[in-house]
């Protein structure tokens, strides 16, 4: 059902005259209910059969076993539900499942062109099919616990989960991401059911046979011992506390020199709005954290007024990837980038180990335990669907301490 609300706004200079302005169009799902019984609780999501007919029909066929699919061994499965017994993984802001062999090797068939639905990730509880390079996966889905428009091009929304289910998703996501998706025991999909309008809700699905004995293999030990930072210490004073991080001067000399130069005002940069070179100014002082994601990281903002929004301040430099220096612990200080060779000024600090970032970002510092607690707090401030804090968290001052 489409609902169009009207907001009455006063005309300029008049207190008694109003004009009707259409508010955001809210589309509610009208299809059947998908019920996910997991080892960590029940999740219920109503499907958008009208807006996403292709995706919804494919999902229902896999749930009910009316669509044939091939396992990782290539054997065709007939009249067998696809999702029952699959492992659930934590992803940014939610959970994901639907791959029987992991790494995209156990999907239910070939990908197809992404369906156009007009739906977006502007609400918590969205159920969506994963999209990679414009192709919609045949079986991998995600459910998000917070509105997140960063996912707009990465999945096709085809369902909306209720409030109780959103809380279950948030709990599962936190429990998995806090251990980098390596819990002792996996969270699994026990059964997925389709419940039509007017049908009674089925009782909870009991544990599957052998569920208590399922184990997640631990991460292999590192091939190269992780180095410890030997460079100077920096303090990042924010409106929510002061962070302390020691720099990897030996492992990331370019990144460290860049950060120190910008922080102390000894490195010039180009103003992205005026294109005028700036010298002698402490770059980070007064900027804010523009991107905050619980169980992931906090990231500082570009300079205000950047017309391109790409952080272009007149230079970019390559990644410094060092064997053994990985995202194997909380508090890694690293450069954000848009691909190799695009580092500039934006940095982020992680909340947990996050090995999926390994090899793609320059780690140039390690922050202490007290800083990780501040990161946790900043990551959980109220935020909008672009993951920007509703009340800015400001970097008041960055200080580089003399090496003792």
Angle, CA of 341, 345 and 351, to the nearest 5°:
95
Please give the residue that has the higher pLDDT: either 306 or 389: 389
- Name beta bridge partners: 349: 298, 333
User: What is residue 179's predicted lDDT score, i.e. its pLDDT?
Assistant: 97
Does 7 score more than 60 pLDDT?
no
Report yes or no: 131 and 153 within 8 Å, Cβ to Cβ. Answer: yes
Q: Report residue 1's pLDDT band, with 50, 70 and 90 as the boundaries.
A: very low
Q: Please, what is the average pLDDT of the chain? A: 91
Predicted pLDDT of residue 403: 61
What is the per-residue pLDDT for 400?
97
Q: Output the CA–CA distances (angstroms, integers) from residue 249 to 18, 347, 365, 366, in the order listed.
A: 61, 16, 8, 11
Residue 16 binned pLDDT confidence (cut-offs 50, 70, 90): very low
How far does the chain reach from its first CA to its final CA, in angstroms?
Answer: 66
- The torsion region of residue 109 among left (phi > 0), alpha (psi -120 to 50) and beta comes to left
Two structure tokens written together for 187: 């969270």
pLDDT of residue 8: 41
Q: How confident is the model at residue 25 (pLDDT cuts 50, 70, 90)?
A: confident
Q: Which residue has the tokens 């992991």?
A: 102
pLDDT value of residue 70: 83
Q: Which of 215-229, 246-260, 349-363 has the lowest mean pLDDT?
A: 215-229
pLDDT > 90 in the chain, percent = 83
* pLDDT over 90 (residue 155): yes
Whether 33-199 shares its CATH topology with 233-400 is answered yes
pLDDT at site 191: 98
Q: State the chain's maximal CA–CA distance in angstroms.
A: 73
The CATH number of 33-199 is 2.40.100.10
Per-residue 3-state assignment (H helix, E strand, C coil) for the chain: CEEEEEEEEECCCCCCCEEEEEEEEEECCCCCEEEEEECCEEEEEEECCCCCHHHHHHHHHHHHCCCCEECCCCCEECCCCCCCCCEEEEECCEEEECCCCCCCCCCCCCCEECCCCCCCCCCCCEEEEEEECCEEEEEEEEEECCCCHHHCCCEEEEEEECHHHHHHHHHHHHHHHCCCCCCCCCEEEEEEEEECCCCCCCCCCCCCCCHHHCCCCCCCCCCCCCCCCCCCEEEEEECCEEEEEEECCCCCHHHHHHHHHHHHCCCCEECCCCCCEECCCCCCCCCEEEEEECCCEEEECCCCCCCCCCCCCCCCECCCCCCCCCCCCCCEEEECCCCCCCECCCEEEECCCCHHHCCCCCEEEEECHHHHHHHHHHHCCCECCCCCECCCCEEEEEEECCCC
Token output for 186: 């996996």
Averaged pLDDT, 297-310: 75
Picking from 229, 253, 404, the residue whose alpha carbon sits closest to that of residue 329 is 229
Lowest model confidence (mean pLDDT) among 11-25, 290-304, 334-348: 11-25
Q: 349-380, pLDDT tens digit by residue?
A: 999 999 999 999 999 999 999 999 999 999 99
Q: What pLDDT is stored for residue 106 in this prediction?
A: 78
Sequence-separated (6 or more) residues with CB below 8 Å from residue 193: 34, 35, 37, 63, 202
Residue with tokens 């696809």: 82
Residue 6 has pLDDT above 50, yes or no: no
User: Could you tell me the residue ranges of all domains in the chain?
Assistant: 33-199, 233-400
* Structural tokens at position 139: 């079986």
Give the separation between CA 150 and CA 120, rounded to whole angstroms: 10
Residue matched to tokens 């085809």: 158
pLDDT at 2 over 80: no
Q: What integer pLDDT is reported at residue 269 of this predicted model?
A: 95
For residues 193-219, average pLDDT = 95
Please tell me the distance from the alpha carbon of residue 382 to that of residue 390, in angstroms, as a whole number: 6
Q: Which residue has the tokens 């239910």?
A: 108
What is the pLDDT, as a whole number, of residue 57? 98
**Please, are residues 350 and 382 in contact by the beta-carbon 8 Å criterion?**
no
CA distance 121 to 144: 8
Q: CA 154 to CA 224: how far, in whole Å? A: 34
Q: Output the pTM of the full model.
A: 0.91
What would be the CATH architecture of the domain defined by 233-400? Beta Barrel (2.40)
Name residue 8's beta-bridge partners.
Answer: 20
Give residue-wise pLDDT tens across range 98-122. 998 766 667 888 999 999 999 999 9
In this prediction, what percent of the chain has a pLDDT beyond 70? 90
CB-based contact 161:43 (threshold 8 Å): yes
Q: What is the pLDDT of residues 49-77, one digit of tens each?
A: 999 999 999 999 999 999 999 876 778 89
């Amino acid at each position: 059902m489409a609902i169009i609300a009207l907001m009455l706004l006063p005309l300029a200079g008049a207190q008694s005259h109003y004009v009707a302005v259409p508010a955001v169009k809210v589309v509610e799902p009208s299809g059947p209910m998908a019920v996910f019984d997991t080892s960590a609780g029940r999740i219920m999501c109503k499907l958008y059969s009208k807006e996403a007919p292709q995706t919804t029909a494919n999902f229902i066929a896999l749930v009910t076993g009316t669509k044939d699919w091939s396992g990782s061994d290539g054997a065709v499965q007939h009249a067998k539900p696809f999702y029952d017994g699959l492992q659930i993984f934590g992803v940014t802001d939610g959970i994901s499942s639907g791959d029987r062999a992991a790494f995209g090797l156990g999907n239910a068939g070939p990908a197809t062109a992404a369906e156009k639905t007009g739906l977006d990730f502007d609400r918590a509880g969205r159920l969506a099919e994963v999209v990679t390079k414009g192709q919609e996966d045949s079986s991998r889905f995600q459910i998000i616990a917070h509105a997140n428009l960063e996912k707009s091009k990465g999945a096709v929304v085809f369902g909306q989960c209720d409030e109780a289910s959103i809380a279950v998703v948030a709990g599962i996501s936190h429990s998995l991401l806090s251990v980098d998706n390596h819990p002792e025991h996996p969270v699994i999909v026990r059964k997925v059911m389709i419940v039509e309008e007017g049908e009674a809700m089925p009782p909870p699905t009991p544990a599957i046979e052998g569920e208590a004995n399922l184990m997640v293999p631990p991460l292999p030990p590192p091939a190269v011992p992780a180095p410890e930072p030997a460079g100077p210490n920096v303090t990042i004073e924010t409106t929510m506390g002061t962070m302390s991080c020691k720099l990897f001067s030996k492992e990331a000399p370019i990144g460290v020199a860049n950060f120190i130069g910008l922080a102390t005002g000894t490195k010039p940069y180009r103003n992205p709005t005026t294109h005028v070179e700036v010298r002698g100014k402490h770059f980070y002082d007064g900027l804010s954290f523009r991107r905050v994601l619980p169980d992931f990281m906090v990231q500082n903002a570009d300079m205000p007024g950047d017309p391109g929004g790409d952080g272009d301040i007149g230079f970019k430099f390559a990644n410094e990837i060092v064997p053994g220096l990985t995202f194997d612990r909380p508090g890694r200080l690293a450069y954000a980038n848009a691909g190799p060779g695009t580092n500039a000024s934006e940095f982020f600090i992680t909340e947990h180990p996050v090995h999926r970032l390994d090899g793609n970002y320059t780690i140039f510092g390690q922050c202490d335990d007290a800083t990780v607690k501040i990161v946790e707090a900043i990551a959980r401030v109220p935020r909008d669907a672009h993951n920007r804090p509703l009340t800015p968290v400001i970097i008041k001052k960055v200080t580089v301490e003399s090496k003792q």
